[in-house]
Chains A and B, each alone.
Chain A
Amino acid sequence: MSVSFALLGLLENGPRHGYDLKRTYDDTFGRDRSLHYGQVYSTMARLLKNGLVEVESEPGDGPDRKRYAITHAGITDVAEWIGRPEKPEPYLQSTLYTKVVLALLTGRDANEVLDAQRAEHLRLMRELTRRKNDGDLADELICDHALFHLEADLRWLELTAARLDRLAARVRP
């Protein structure tokens, strides 16, 4: 899910060929999970069908010659996705990281992404805290497990907020 938004978001700063898009994705988000070409082209085909990208063809044939550009509908979708907090659950970091980096790359407020997510996490933590305090020992232990995981996410959010300037300097072209 986040791969298609990430690819779409990367097009916001200008049209790219499929090959270039894959390279940029791998450099920015890939690390140990680089994309296959096939995945890039199938994603682009889907985005094209949904009207979120358009193709600027160049002379010559084959998929390599296609340059993809984001449409207005695509920009709206990216903005909506970046702004919408994720459902709090453990191990969200890679999706959040993608959102934060895309926000920085596209000139959106990355602090807003982090704040919206913090609010969403705290909402769930409040609910668990209430359940824990009204419940028995089993409730307490079950809720504590979830609370510790959510707290770890929040610590990551705080650390990322503190390092936004450094991250911006690294990811911005």
Chain B
Amino acid sequence: MTDQPLLVADSLRLNFGETKALDDASLHIWPGEIVALMGPSGSGKSTLLHCLAGILQPESGRVSYDGRDLTAMSDSERSALRRGEFGFVFQFGQLVPELTCVENVALPLRLSGAGRREAHRTATDWLERLEVGDVGAKRPGQVSGGQGQRVAVARALVSRPRVVFADEPTGALDSLNGELVMKLFIAAARDTGAAVVLVTHEARVAAYSDREAVVRDGRVREQEYAR
């Protein structure tokens, strides 16, 4: 564990029309830690996640990743960073419906230049690790919601990102399936040493984190990093 945060949001501001989505929001993510972003709907937690991930650009303030200023990068530099260093899990898996599950998981590796066979072998290992080894040949439309989310987690982790952004990853699942997804997701993230930024409104999901940060009216109340 280093003594430098990996990802820092510093005084971010962003308005959507009249609405202040982020209003002087700051947050620090250390390597390998799991942080839950909580707060009422409309508080700005998803907007903050999108800024941290370089998907949205704040109007002022800066985001730095591993000492590099994300807000000063070009669009293509930011996409390269997202592809290489970040993983994403959304509420609805957002898997590519035309590809099989194993092809979905192999996709990030293929995009980074890995050969087909090697990518498929690694993807299959990841599906097994998430206990969905049997759905590899199926398309996303043919698997259950819980299985689909585990495929999405495998896809997020397959290229061994240093940060995984998860936006309500269990939001569309019943509690038993949600628990299983969280248990496998967090165990795998801890194994690979990835930090996780987890947006959730569910306390039982947040309980998988190391600490929480509460977003309210576009501002963050951050619990101290204690390790």
B209 at interface, CB cutoff 8 A:
yes
Q: Decide if A129 touches B40 in the complex (CB within 8 Å).
A: no
Instruction: Give the chain A neighbours of B223 by CB distance below 8 A.
Output: 119
Minimal Cβ-Cβ distance residue in A for B42: A162
B1 at interface, CB cutoff 8 A:
no
Q: Decide if B203 touches A125 in the complex (CB within 8 Å).
A: yes
Given contacts A147-B204, A158-B40, contact A122 B212 (CB under 8 A): yes
Q: Interface residues of A, CB < 8 Å — how many? A: 19
Q: Decide if B207 touches A133 in the complex (CB within 8 Å).
A: no
> Using an 8 Å CB-CB cutoff, how does the interface string of B205-223 with A read, 1 for contact, 0 for none?
0111110101010000101
> Using an 8 Å CB-CB cutoff, how does the interface string of A97-141 with B read, 1 for contact, 0 for none?
000000000000001000100110110011011000100000000
Q: Decide if A147 touches B207 in the complex (CB within 8 Å).
A: yes
Contact residues of A: prevailing secondary structure = helix
CA distance A128 to B203 in the complex (A): 12
| Inter-chain residue pair count (beta carbon < 8 A) | 39
Instruction: Give the chain A neighbours of B38 by CB distance below 8 A.
Output: 118
Given contacts A111-B216, A118-B214, A129-B208, contact A151 B203 (CB under 8 A): yes
CA distance A122 to B210 in the complex (A): 10
Given contacts A111-B216, A161-B40, contact A133 B203 (CB under 8 A): no
Report, nearest first, the 5 A-B pairs whose CB atoms are least far apart.
A125-B207, A154-B203, A129-B207, A151-B203, A126-B207
A-B contact pairs, 12 of them (CB 8 A): A119-B212, A119-B223, A121-B203, A122-B206, A122-B207, A125-B206, A128-B207, A129-B207, A147-B204, A147-B207, A151-B202, A158-B40
Chain A residues packing against B (C-beta within 8 Å): 111, 115, 118-119, 121-122, 125-126, 128-129, 133, 147, 150-151, 154-155, 158, 161-162
